[in-house]
């Protein structure tokens, strides 16, 4: 029986599933393992089931036991793992695509609506108990008939587009390559980010995290957006340069910002907590019972397939 380390606590049914097929080391406290703890605890293991909170850079990977042959990441993204280092050490890395598409798209629409309709300010007024209705009270923007720019038209980006169409939004997108017509539907393709930004009344970040996407929304790119645009991010926090975004929010260049992810989670830029036009959630994108169970079971299945056949369909390196 193969031995695996599961670095963070999973839903009980998933831990029971893993325990039936592997000799499992569980993290009952659910505390994030230090680098030294991860290296030590995995020393006699054949594989590691990691979480997005585990940062496996090249220094850690090269210190892992040669016995480890697979790192199964409990996430669709894998920016927390140095893929090149893993490949050099002959470690297969897998992820959990598809199963979190709908849940993440739903949270994207939530933060889009909340930012656009000034939900944070509305909640504050309710708590004060002294608000009075007026014709111009907390006026937000309307999604209906507006242009939504989507950066990254993969599974999640397309799911966001489908939901936005219910609001009769006009979909524009920028991707590494243009989609075929069946996937594109009525969306308008833009070959450059600048072109997409220039028509985006609302802008949703849904692309994978890569070195090229870090701080892709910055003081230069923000200038291309229409004045009073709304930005939402449900992908990865490091795609936004926080200082530039704060300046744009304060100046009114950006009407509002909705975040489910942000730099340095759980730490956050202090201005995001005080600015009234920022709506933030604590990375809830995939946080439904159905989705988190499916993600964990797929991460476990990825390891099982690999140990049985040497192959797995969700390999990323």
Structure token digits, residue 207: 């692309």
Find out whether 270 and 243 touch, Cβ atoms under 8 Å.
Answer: no
Is 236 one of the annotated active-site residues of the chain?
yes
Exactly one of 16, 31, 37, 265 is catalytic; name it.
265
Strand ranges of the sheet holding 70-74, from the earlier edge strand across to the other edge: 23-25, 3-6, 47-51, 70-74, 92-94
Exactly one of 8, 158, 172, 283 is catalytic; name it.
283
Is 127 one of the annotated active-site residues of the chain?
no
Is 184 one of the annotated active-site residues of the chain?
no
The DSSP line for 43-95 is: TT-SEEEEETT--B-HHHHTTS-TT--EEEEESS--TTB-HHHHHHTT-EEE-
Exactly one of 117, 174, 236, 292 is catalytic; name it.
236
Longest dimension (CA), the chain: 68
- Tell me how crowded residue 306 is: count the other CB atoms within 10 A of its CB: 21
Task: Name the residues annotated as catalytic.
Answer: 236, 265, 283
């Amino acid at each position: 029986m193969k031995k695996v380390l599961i670095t963070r606590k999973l839903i009980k049914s998933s831990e029971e599933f893993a325990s039936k097929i592997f000799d499992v080391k569980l993290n009952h406290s659910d505390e994030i393992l230090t680098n030294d703890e991860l290296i030590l605890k995995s020393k006699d293991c054949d594989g590691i089931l990691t979480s997005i909170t585990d940062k496996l850079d090249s220094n850690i990977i090269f210190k892992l036991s040669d016995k480890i042959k697979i790192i199964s990441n409990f996430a669709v993204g894998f920016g927390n793992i140095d893929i090149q280092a893993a490949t050099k050490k002959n470690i297969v890395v897998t992820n959990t695509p598809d199963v979190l598409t709908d849940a993440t798209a739903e949270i994207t629409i939530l933060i889009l609506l909340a930012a656009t309709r000034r939900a944070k300010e509305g909640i504050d007024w309710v708590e004060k108990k002294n608000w009075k209705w007026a014709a111009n009270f907390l006026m937000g923007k309307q999604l209906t008939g507006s242009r939504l720019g989507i950066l990254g038209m993969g599974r999640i980006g397309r799911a966001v587009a489908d939901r936005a169409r219910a609001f009769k939004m006009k979909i524009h997108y920028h991707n590494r390559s243009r989609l075929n017509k069946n996937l594109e539907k009525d969306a308008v393709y833009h070959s450059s980010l600048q072109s997409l930004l220039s028509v985006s009344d609302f802008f949703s970040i849904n692309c994978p995290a890569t070195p090229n996407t870090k701080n892709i929304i910055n003081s230069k790119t923000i200038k291309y957006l229409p004045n009073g645009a709304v930005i939402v991010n449900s992908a990865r926090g490091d795609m936004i340069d926080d200082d530039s975004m704060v300046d744009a929010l304060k100046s009114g260049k950006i009407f509002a910002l909705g975040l489910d992810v942000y730099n340095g989670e759980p730490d956050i830029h202090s201005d995001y907590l005080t600015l009234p036009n920022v709506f933030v959630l604590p990375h809830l994108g995939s946080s439904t019972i159905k989705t988190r169970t499916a993600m964990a079971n797929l991460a476990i299945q990825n390891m099982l397939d690999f140990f049985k056949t040497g192959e797995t369909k969700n390999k990323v390196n």
